[in-house]
Amino acid sequence: MAEDSVHPEAPTVPRAEATEPAPPGLSDPREWVARHGDYLYRYALIRVRDGTTAEDLVQDTLLAALQSKDRFASEFPERSWLTGILRHKIYDHFRRLNRERTVFQNESLPEELEGRFDDLGHWRQGPPLGPADWGPDAAALMQRKEFMLALKQCLAKLPPRCADAFVLREMEAVESEKVQEILGITAANFWVLLHRARMQLRLCLEKSWLGA
C-alpha cells in the first residue's frame, strides 16, 4: 500500500442501519471510505508515523462515527466531524504508548546538533552553525506538498516522545497542560522535548528540503 493512499476495509453496516436515511448533512456511511479514507489516512500517518497504526486509527474512527452518526451536528462539515473523531483516537493512541514506555529520561543532543547552541540553548549565529535563512516566502513554501513529505520523513527520525510532543502541541494545537497529561510528563520534560524536537526538525528540514 502506498503511504499516501489507503483503502481500509469499510465497517460492516447492519442491515437495519443500511436502509435508514443518514442524518441531514451526512452521506451514506458506505461511502465514507471512498470520500474520506485517503485524507484521514494521511492525517493520521504524519502524526503517528506508522502505516499500520494509521490504518487502524482510521478504521476505529469510521466505526465510532457509524455508531454515533445519530448525534451528528449538521452545522459541521462531514469531513471535519470525522477528523475530530480521529484526533481523539490519536490522543488515546499516545496515551496507550505512554503507559507502555519507560520513565522519561533526558537524552543528550544528537551528535549533529552538538556545538550549534550556546549555554542558554540559543542557536549560535552565523554559518555554518546557525540556522539557515528560509527567505521571505517561508510560509508559502511550507504549504507545498514537498514540505509535508519532508516533514513526515523528519518526524520519523525524532525520538518518539519528541515527535509526539511536537505533533500534539504544534500540529494539533493542544494546550501544553493537556499534552503533558496525554504523554504523562512534567512541564519541564515537556519543554525539553518540544525544544529538542524543534531544533532537530529545523536542521533536518534544512538538509532534506531547503538543501534539496
Could you read off the pLDDT of 146-204 as tens digits, one per residue? 778 888 888 988 889 899 999 999 999 999 999 999 999 999 989 988 888 888 888 88
> What's the number of domains the chain is made of?
2
**CA-wise closest residue to 65 among 90, 83, 52:** 83
Query: CA–CA separation, 156 vs 104, rounded Å?
Result: 19
Residue 196 in grid coordinates: 529538542
Which of 46, 71, 100 is the last residue before a domain boundary? 100
Residues 122 and 83 in one domain: no
Statement to judge: residues 127 and 166 lie in one domain: yes
Q: Which of 65, 100, 135 is the last residue of a domain?
A: 100
Q: List, in order, residues 6 or more apart from 207 with CB less than 8 Å away.
A: none
CATH number for position 70: 1.10.1740.10
Say which amino acid occupies 105: Q
- pLDDT (tens digit, 9 = 90+) per residue, 110-123? 555 555 555 545 55
**Is 131 a domain residue?**
yes
Find the length of the chain: 212
Q: Locate cell 527567505: which residue?
A: 135
Span 56-95, pLDDT tens digits? 999 999 999 999 988 887 778 899 999 999 999 999 999 9
Under 8 Å CB-to-CB from 185, ≥6 apart: which residues? 104, 161, 165, 193
Q: Does residue 206 sit in the same domain as residue 117?
A: yes
Residue 77 to residue 17: CA distance in whole angstroms = 21
Task: Give the three-state DSSP class for 117.
Answer: strand
In a domain, 153, yes or no: yes
pTM: 0.73
Q: What is the pLDDT of residue 104?
A: 52
Domain identity same for 152 and 73? no
- pLDDT reported for residue 9: 47
Domain around 50: 15-100
pLDDT of residue 163: 93
Q: Where are the beta strands (DSSP E) in the chain?
A: none
